Structure 1
Amino acid sequence: MVKLPYVLQKENICRFDGDTFFIGDRRTFPLAKTFVACSSVRDIAIALTQMVTQGGGPLQVAFTTLSYCAHRMERGTLPAGFETFKGSAAQLIAARPTNTTMARVLEKMLGEISLLFGQGGDLHSVVQAIDALVLENEQQYDAIYHAMGKKGASLLKDGETVLTTCFAEHTFLLSLAYAQQEGKTVSVLASETRPYLQGARLTAPSLREMGIPVSLITDGMGANFLSKGKVGCYMTASDVVCMDGTVVNKTGTLANAIACAYYNVPYYSFSISPDPSKRNSGDLHMEMRDGKEVIHCMGHLITDEAIPALYPSFDSIPPSLVTGIITPKGILTPDALSGAYL
């Protein structure tokens, strides 16, 4: 079995001890392995808003928060009842509005938790059932990650260099690991991903930890390497995928996708859960974050504070620029997506 790097191990994404919830602080990794301590669901939601964990991290936080709430109910430090879970889920969803996968998973699990409370069992039995529900969902997504990783590996050629943006988490890293297991030699160009530097701090160290050759580049260098024929394919995660094949991912993705189309390099996006409620880009909520985040880097001011800055957090990549979307249902072209998910 492929071993996941430090930042993707569940206990390092988040865990709880008593009434304290710990979230691995990806803003300090790899220079430090620290955790943000939260004493309430409100604190957890604030941590998500403040980018303590990003990408797939909020989904694991959501799973663990459900168990955290259940155990606090049993100890009497949270009101017992379904409304506590409903309110907690609402806070998490509001913290990362673009992350529709987390929202849809929570809404589905809320329906199942509501049934548990409606059955009239004792609280201890309900808590045990919620723990079992969380574990079942975690295992389901673990299986999806590995299956998609194998699909991604099938797209990689021996000797190929892959360009990526931001931190594509389980599916991308597993694709490279499975490609290596198949005897393929693959390497990665990881863009730094301003302003939080997820590519520099998460992608590159994780690949190095897994023994996969990686070189760090700045966000503006992708087209340069594409123009020189140094890139075999481009692979990223996706925060949302619409039914017409529109991909939403970290800002900077669009520029590389345009360059890939110009230089005839395929672009593949991983999506564990394309969103059937999003027909096209017109249905998207695109998060615009505080521009002050751009004038700081790793806590350091990089320019005059009086200079206005803008920070569109995500790009919308039109389906015409997307070669394929790697999903639990297979590698789908944008025009085949709706047939598989509607």
Structure 2
Amino acid sequence: MPIADQIRPIRWQNDALELLDQRQLPAQEHYLRLQEVEAVAAAIRDMVVRGAPAIGITAAFGMALAARAIAGTADWRESLNRSAEVLKRARPTAVNLAWAVQQQLHNAGLCDDVTTASEALLRWAQELLAQDIRDNQRMGALGAEVLPPEGGILTHCNTGSLATGGYGTALGVIRAGIAAGRNWRIYADETRPWLQGARLTAWELQKDGIPFSLNVDGAAAHLMARGEIQAVIVGADRIAANGDTANKIGTYALAVLAHYHDIPFFVAAPVSTVDFAMPHGNGIVIEERPAEEVRQCGGRELTPAGVAVRNPAFDVTPAALIAAIITEKGVVRPPFLEGLAALGG
């Protein structure tokens, strides 16, 4: 089955960064035009762009914009460091953000002046975007060989083009498998509270003409018990050196359910998502987001006024529950510490 793969949520046009505003999907496809680093940080924080790889790419362009804005400044390195901190504070959990910002600081350190740095940072951001798409396509091909050849495949949150530069991680594996003729039935969790599955994954699957069923998050156990699910595949926002994986809230529950029902649970993510300095998942900072995201839906109040809310954006799935981690450089199976280290060099 041919796959269109035409969704590109991040683009550089006419000396500005343009981001597909994911808050407005699926009702409207609208690109925001950003020319200042503060606006890029706000876009990351406010969920205009989301997904670890996409956040990293966006931050790389943010650093390029910061360098362009300080042309002619004597203390341009200090100014660039301040912009880096602004970007890194936007969201704390996804390692790709800090990784991309540090890479851009390194690139700037190789330059003698801000003009050269500005050109170098923009060039690297553009290369990162292009490389991410190629890596995702490679990851998809590798993952399609690992998942069962037929049956139900359940995914959580959005891990497609919208979460990356294009093609996707876990959803990229699904794209590659369907294109290769796998006899899969796709199930997408709605993914509360931002409904990334209901709004974004469903939108992408429809665009590609891939048949699927949307289900509420709480239906996963029922579907597994009925034998409708043969594998679960998710993305990752940060993977510790031992394989513990932080991903969208609800992922850990899926992994526990899959383990109980003897269903393989897969993670698909680029090697840049692995935090080799983080020994295990206990050290991963979990972002707590505003209570209004749970109290409201589409601006409409759902709860009694003032109700207390816990809104962790992520949870950590222990490595022991993961069958394999699929990357662009290869598929790693337990023990993950050695396998991931080998991929990371």
Q: Same fold (TM over 0.5)?
A: yes
Residue in structure 2 matching 1:27, options 20, 23, 30: 23
The aligned runs of 1:87-166 (5 Å cut-off) are 87-117=82-112, 120=113, 123=115, 125-166=116-157
Indicate the percent of aligned positions where both proteins have the same amino acid: 28
Counterpart CA distance in 1 for 2:179 and 2:187 is 20
Offset of residue 200 of structure 1: 0.7
Matched, 1:202 2:193: no
- 2:185 alignment partner, one of 187, 197, 201: 187
Task: Decide whether the 8 Å contact of 1:244 with 1:334 is kept in 2.
Answer: no
Residue 37 of structure 1 deviates from its aligned partner by 4.8
Q: Do the aligned residues in 2 keep the contact of 1:162 with 1:235 (CA within 8 Å)?
A: yes
Q: Quote the Cα distance in structure 1 between the aligned partners of 2:339 and 2:214.
A: 38
SS in 2 for 1:222: helix
Match of 1:292 in 2: 292
- What is the Cα deviation at residue 285 of structure 1? 0.7
1:49 is matched with: 45
Count of residues in correspondence between the two structures:
331
Structure 1 segments unaligned to the other structure (5+ residues): none
Find 1:250's aligned residue among 242, 248, 251.
Answer: 248
Map Cα deviations across residues 254-279 of structure 1 (whole Å, 9 max, x no partner): 11111100000000011212110110
| Residue of structure 2 equivalent to 1:84 | 79
- Distance apart, 1:150 and its partner CA: 0.8
> 8 Å contact 2:159–2:171 — kept in the other structure?
yes
Q: Distance in 2 between matches of 1:318 and 1:145?
A: 24
Answer whether contact 2:236 2:246 (CA < 8 A) is retained.
yes
On the 8 A contact 2:57/2:100 being kept in 1, the answer is no
CA contact (8 A) 2:142 2:331 kept: yes
| 2:210 alignment partner AA | I
What secondary structure does 1:85 align onto?
helix
Greater relative contact order (CA < 8 Å, ≥ 6 in sequence): 2
Extract unaligned runs of 5+ from structure 2: 161-167
Query: SS in structure 2 opposite 1:116?
Result: coil
TM-score of the aligned structures, taking structure 2 as reference length: 0.88
What amino acid maps onto 1:164 in structure 2?
T
Supply the distance in 1 between the matched residues of 2:96 and 2:251 (Cα, whole angstroms).
19
Pairwise CA distance, 1:198? 0.5
How big is the shift at 1:227? 0.6
Contact kept in structure 2, 1:188 and 1:215, CA below 8 Å:
yes
Corresponding residue for residue 163 of structure 2: none
The aligned residue for residue 319 of structure 1 is 319
Matching residue within 230, 233, 247 for 1:232: 230
Structure 2 residue 281 is matched with structure 1 residue 281: yes
1:216 alignment counterpart: 214
- Using the TM superposition, name which of 325-334 and 80-89 deviates more: 80-89
Contact 1:246–1:281 (CA<8 Å) still a contact in 2?
yes
Secondary structure of the 2:127 match is helix
Would the alpha carbon gap of residues 48 and 135 (structure 1) be closer, same or farther in structure 2, given more than 3 Å must change?
closer
The Cα offsets for residues 90-147 of structure 1, whole Å up to 9 and x where unpaired, read as 2111111101122112212211211113xx5x82x44333332223322332222111
Distance 1:149 1:200, change over 3 A: same
Note if contact 1:152-1:175 (Cα within 8 Å) is conserved in structure 2. yes
- Tell me the alpha carbon deviations over residues 192-242 of structure 1, each in whole angstroms, 9 at most, x when there is no partner: 111111001111110111121111111111111011110110000011111
Contact 1:14-1:22 at 8 Å conserved across structures: yes
Give the 3-state SS of the residue equivalent to 1:177 in structure 2: helix
Question: Aligned with 1:294: secondary structure?
Answer: helix
